[in-house]
Amino acid sequence: MAIMFTLAIRRDDWSLHRKGAIDQARHMEKVKEAIKRNLADIVSEQSLITSDGKRVVRVPIRVLEEYRFRFDPDSGRQVGQGSGGTHVGDVVGRVGGGQRSGDGPQAGDQPGIDYYEAELTIEELSELIFEDLELPNLEEKRLRELESEAVRFTEIRRHGPFANLDKRRTLRENLRRNAWRGRARIGDFANEDLRFKTWERDVKRESNAVVIAMMDVSGSMGTFEKYVSRAFYYWMVRFLRTKYDRVEIRFIAHHAEAREVSEEEFFSRGESGGTRASTAYELALQLIRESYPPDSWNIYPFHFSDGDNWPSDNERCRELAEELLRCANLFGYGEIRQGRYTYQSTLMHTLQRIGSPKLVTVTITEKADVYQALRRFFGPEVGQEVARA
């Protein structure tokens, strides 16, 4: 007996038409997750730090597998049959490297994993990096009114400049007036039909905030140390200018002496000489006294160094750091120690003795730690820790 199956598809079933868009959205979500897992390596990429900010980043993404049929592994127990003659300890096979011959390793014959490169701009990458970062412990001190370029239409009026004429509402009013007179048509315009949009500029209020970036450029700072410092400050500056409209940033470079420099000099100029970190703290306090009264400004000093400070200068650093902490929302100190995991510098030890919750320290031993340093200083957990304290 033949059995006939009938498949009926409703013409108004639009789920089939949306299947491609759903799969594409799922694929992009997988790509986004893959990029997030690699942010630590991407952030420390040297080609990004030295670029002009318009570079397209290529991130290797493992190809998603296509749909395929497979047997249910839980359908029952299976057994295999060997050739016999084996004993405990015999090598059954080797993983990777292929077989060896007298001439050396041979090429493998197993398929590899396919990858493709996902492209995204610096702006798209910045959104992923900065999505939950913020200036910690930001207080509403003296607010500045910031006028944006965008305008907002707030209401409709009967009078106004013809540049703001709302044509749709004018036509509707004309049609309504003619319909009320018994002729539902558009025509015979009168002044009472005219409607005009009124607009105003968006005004945002933002708390005053200044970030003071201090960097050790002495002779003890090698290529790795200087690169890590600049990499951190590169992303910090980009984060501040992406998230905040009017955060001021001052740049201080120091060796045995400190001086304020331009942003270009800060990221490109090399120095040498000894190290007296207290000179940077003194200059930061001078800038605060001259331009940023604490009752009106949120103040965030940051200092990056390798920690090799002149020993007799450490106590002076502690005194000045305590003075900075009295007027700062948060003071961040980053120490770069490539390959020195257990060693703690005397400067780090001296600062940690202060014991203030507003003093946040981080140690960087490899390039991938730059991303963790960003999260350590600007992650949402930092503000919560300071608030609880």
CATH number at residue 249: 3.40.50.410
The CA-atom distances, in angstroms, between 175 and each of 32, 65, 164, 179, 180 are: 51, 59, 20, 6, 9
Sorted by sequence, the CB contacts under 8 Å of residue 97 that are 6+ apart come out as 105, 108
State the pTM of this model.
0.66
Rounded CA separation 295/38 (Å): 41
- The pLDDT, as a whole number, for residue 274 is 86
- The pLDDT, as a whole number, for residue 235 is 92
State whether 214 and 187 are in the same domain: no
State whether 231 and 126 are in the same domain: no
Assess if residue 82 is contained within a domain.
no
State whether 310 and 224 are in the same domain: yes
Inter-residue contact 117 to 363 (CB < 8 Å): no
Assess if residue 10 is contained within a domain.
no
Q: Is 107 helix (H, G, I), strand (E, B) or coil?
A: coil
The separation between CA 357 and the C-alpha centre of its own chain, rounded to angstroms, equals: 24
State whether 187 and 230 are in the same domain: no
Assess if residue 293 is contained within a domain.
yes
Assess if residue 103 is contained within a domain.
no
Assess if residue 241 is contained within a domain.
yes
State whether 215 and 201 are in the same domain: no
Query: Per-residue confidence of the chain (389 residues) as pLDDT tens digits?
Result: 555 555 455 555 555 556 667 777 776 777 777 777 777 877 777 766 665 555 666 666 655 555 555 656 665 555 556 666 776 666 666 655 555 555 555 666 666 555 556 666 778 778 888 887 888 887 766 555 444 455 565 668 777 777 778 888 888 888 888 888 777 778 888 888 888 887 666 555 567 899 999 999 998 898 899 999 999 999 999 999 988 877 899 999 999 999 999 999 998 877 778 899 999 999 999 999 999 999 889 999 999 999 889 989 999 999 999 999 999 999 999 999 887 555 778 899 999 999 899 999 999 999 889 999 999 999 887 756 655 65
The DSSP code for 335 is E
The tokens for 299 are 């103040």
Assess if residue 179 is contained within a domain.
yes
Residue ranges making up the domain that contains 236: 208-388
Sorted by sequence, the CB contacts under 8 Å of residue 99 that are 6+ apart come out as 105, 106
State whether 171 and 276 are in the same domain: no
State whether 173 and 29 are in the same domain: no
Rounded CA separation 23/291 (Å): 55
Residue in the block written with tokens 């800038």: 287
Assess if residue 324 is contained within a domain.
yes
- The pLDDT, as a whole number, for residue 176 is 85
State whether 126 and 152 are in the same domain: no
State whether 335 and 256 are in the same domain: yes
State whether 350 and 236 are in the same domain: yes
State whether 175 and 288 are in the same domain: no
Count of domains observed in the chain: 3
Inter-residue contact 255 to 274 (CB < 8 Å): yes
Rounded CA separation 333/9 (Å): 65
Assess if residue 13 is contained within a domain.
no
Extract the runs of DSSP E, i.e. beta strands, from the chain.
56-62, 100-101, 104-105, 115-121, 143-157, 196-207, 209-216, 247-254, 258-261, 298-305, 331-336, 359-364
- Other beta carbons less than 10 A from residue 157's beta carbon: 12
The tokens for 225 are 């140390």
State whether 192 and 121 are in the same domain: no
